[in-house]
Structure 1
Amino acid sequence: MAYKKEKVIEITSWLAMTFLLIKFIPIHRLREAMVAFLFKQAVTWLFGLLIVEKDMIRYPFKTLFKKSIKSSFTFEYFVLPSLNVLFNIHYPEKRNFWNKLLYYFSYTSSITLLEIIAVKYTKLIKYKKWKWYWSFLSIWFTYYVGRRYQRWFFKEANN
């Protein structure tokens, strides 16, 4: 069966992220989670589509919406926004600068490392005019902007 490994990875990603969201998002913070999810979806839609249309990255295998969009629906529209929810809900707001920096670094480097592995060993993603450090920087940037948006959006509720 062609692309068996890729199908397993995509299905496992959907199941794992769904489990993580159910397990680690408290019901009383569901509103915050939805804002973080939708914000990251909007940002990844814009950046992801731009990068794919500029022929910098290619997604040879996709389970969903194969003919509708060139980007990966699973990763751009579900996995990354879900990770952003976990990032924002568990953000160490009251910790010092170094702990926050480490938090950003651990999330960003984990995603980048998994992407590098996917590029090397699967047909889920192929770099054309792209490098891993662009992924690292863009993920870091979207986490930062997403965190700023989250703080701004819920500013009155926190006061």
Structure 2
Amino acid sequence: MSRYKDGGKQMAKYTVEKGISISSIILTTLLLILFIPKEKIRQALIPFLFHQALTWFFGLIVVEKGLIRYPFRYYFSRSNKSSFIFEYLIFPAFAVFFNLFYPEKRSLLIKNIHYLFFTSTITFFETIAVKYTKLIVYKKWTWYWSFITIWISYFITNLFYRWYFKQPPCN
């Protein structure tokens, strides 16, 4: 149920959600520009595009099955029920940083901390968004399902990244 009497049809009332969406786009774009060296753009594009494909497929399944709802969608609100900004920009950008800065030659503990950091960061901000905004609403979903699926998506993206660049399998 919408928190607005008009059913949420007037997007002008979603000022917090608009602000978060626009600032997320700007911040994510700046992080990519500032922290991806020119010589690693090719290495960055692979996890970005692959992760977009993953999130497109699985994100749509989750939304269409009614597990998650995105009441406020700044882009493509009539053509797609998923969150374009999260599924196609923010989450894939995190996958880029996850893969480019993956501690390949470190211990299994450090690798797991790397997974934990990246997975927890997105899960934390998602739970804040669920509690305080209308960007996302859990219907038949919880934060730990997000945590698990985010972890798995990083793992799959990393496998693809390593395969694409002909790196040996991770430990």
Q: For the superposition of Structure 1 and Structure 2, which TM-score range results when normalised by the shorter chain? A: over 0.9
1:41: how far off?
A: 0.2
Matching residue of 1:14 = 25
Q: Does 1:153 align with 2:164?
A: yes
Gaps of 5+ in 2: 1-11
* Aligned: 1:118 with 2:129: yes
Offset from partner CA, 1:35-76 (integer Å, 9 cap, x none): 010000000001100000001100000110110100000001
Counterpart position of 1:91: 102
Indicate the SS of the match to 1:45.
Answer: helix
* Residue 2 of structure 1, aligned match among 7, 13, 25: 13
Letter in 2 for 1:105: L
Gaps of 5+ in 1: none
Structure 1 residue 78 corresponds to structure 2 residue 89: yes
1:58-103 superposed Cα distances (whole Å, 9 cap, x missing partner)? 0000110110100000001111001111111111111111000000
Identity of paired residues, percent?
53
Equivalence for 1:60 = 71
> Aligned residue pairs: how many?
156
Match of 2:4 in 1: none
Which one has the bigger helix percentage? Answer: 1
Q: Within 2, Cα distance between the matches of 1:90 and 1:27?
A: 15
Q: Give the TM-score normalised by structure 1.
A: 0.96
Q: What TM-score, normalized to structure 2?
A: 0.90
- The residue number in structure 2 matching 1:136 is 147
CA distance in structure 2 between the aligned counterparts of 1:40 and 1:25, rounded to whole angstroms: 17
Question: Runs (4+) of structure 1 moved beyond 6 Å?
Answer: none
Q: Hey, what's the Cα distance between the residues in 1 that align with 2:57 and 2:116?
A: 23
